[in-house]
Amino acid sequence: METAVAVAGAGGAGLTKWQAAALSAVAGWVWAASFYDLTRRARALVQPWVMRRVQAETPAILRFQRLQHKLLDNFFSVLSCVVSVPFYTGFLPLLFWSGHNKLARQMTLLMAFCDYLGNSVKDIVSAPRPCSPPVRRVTATEDEKENAMEYGLPSSHALNTVCLMGYLLHYVLTYGEHGSVMIAAGLSLAFLLVMLVAIARIYLGMHSPTDVIAGIGFGFVILAFWLVVHDHVDAFVVSGQNVSSFWAGLSLLMCFAYPKPEFPTPSFEYHTAFNGVAFGIVYGIQQTYFHFHTPDVPLIFSPQLPLLTFAGRVLVGIPTILVVKFCSKALSKWLLPVMCSTLGIPIVSSCYVPALKVDNSKSKKQGAGYLQRVFSLFPQKAYDVDTGIRFVQYASLAWSVVDLVPAIFAHLNL
């Protein structure tokens, strides 16, 4: 509980009772999960059953892969790219700049929520994907090769497709003109896409049927929950009290509220990136909502925002956010180690800072400052500074999407 108070104090004074209670609950969960070793206990219950299911389903996967054809390889590989996290990450800035701000911020936060829950379950269960060989695994892109390094259950592609297609359909039917034909067409398209993604993940050898079914099931549960809370979340983001300080504290705690997998995978890196994106979007919206993000902003294809102007926005916006991402990464690689050293927080680096890769003993010998005593409540002796660097660069990128770039658009009359 003391940690949540310290985080709240660092984020800013004046948090409401429910905000302090929420941060305290997350901090309490982190402590309890570590003290009672909940991840290991849950894994011991679930992992053996899942592994037996994956092994039992391997012959069925092999029979299905007898349909192997180059056209199917290409089609399912492209489909997997279209519903992957990198695609959504590239698509969401365009959604913001097209004027659909509420849809864009809700899909961004939903994506971060899905990524956290889905990857947390993956790393709690730590059940491998179908064994390759004998299963033929098709990894046509670097993104797919990284996905193959994660655990299997649940399928993130299936989970994300259910959630994002479901929310997009809900948004269109809620805010657009529609009749029974459009409703039927929307439901049919969403169902078809989910089924194709499910088939693709099995055909490509990335998942077993159990992984896919679990992904679809988790997706429906998360979508149902989000449809209940999304209006409350949006109202809080655009007009709540202490939003930035609360979200900063929550983002920090969420870096710790993540299960440790049986063996290292890229899942936590994805969570950190989306954690940063969510904070950057929320912070930027808080600063500029009444300037750039109100419901009356022009929409794409309207007289105020024709396609040519939107193309100009893309040509200006994409290079700008990439420059911001590069500069923030370079700055945080220099600044964060200095700050941690000054405050006495022990750190290592797995990738970004070569000088810290093997310098564990030096980090542990640093003096115990106040923040180190606070962080000692968490179950780590040294902290990977790459987590902070990754968080800062993606938070900066997301902030630039909703704050810096729209300001440039306004200056250029785009």
Residue bearing tokens 């658009």:
409
**Rounded Cα gap, residues 394 and 386, in angstroms:** 12
Q: For residue 327, how far is the Cα from the chain centroid?
A: 22
Torsion of CA 99, 192, 161, 73, to 10 degrees: -110
Is-contact 23 246, C-beta < 8 A? yes
**Active site residue ranges:** 157, 207
Torsion over CA: 167, 169, 170, 171 (sign): positive
Q: Are 248 and 116 in contact (CB under 8 A)?
A: no
- Token output for 135: 């299963």
The SS3 of residue 207 is coil
Alpha-carbon gap, residue 273 to 92, rounded angstroms: 14
b/e map 98-110, b = 16+ CB within 10 Å: bbbbbbbbbbbbb
> Could you tell me which residues come within 8 angstroms of residue 255 by beta carbon, excluding any fewer than 6 positions away?
272, 275, 387, 391
Cα separation, 89 vs 397, in Å, equals: 11
The closest of 306, 244, 395 to 99, measured between CA atoms, is 306
Its sign, for the CA torsion 370, 376, 377, 383, is positive
Q: Which residues of 346-373 are buried (b: 16+ CB within 10 A; e: fewer)?
A: bbbbeebbeebeeeeeebeebeeeebbe
* CA dihedral of 206, 210, 212, 216, whole degrees rounded to 10: -160
The angle at the Cα of 255, spanning 155 to 126, to the nearest 5 degrees, equals 35
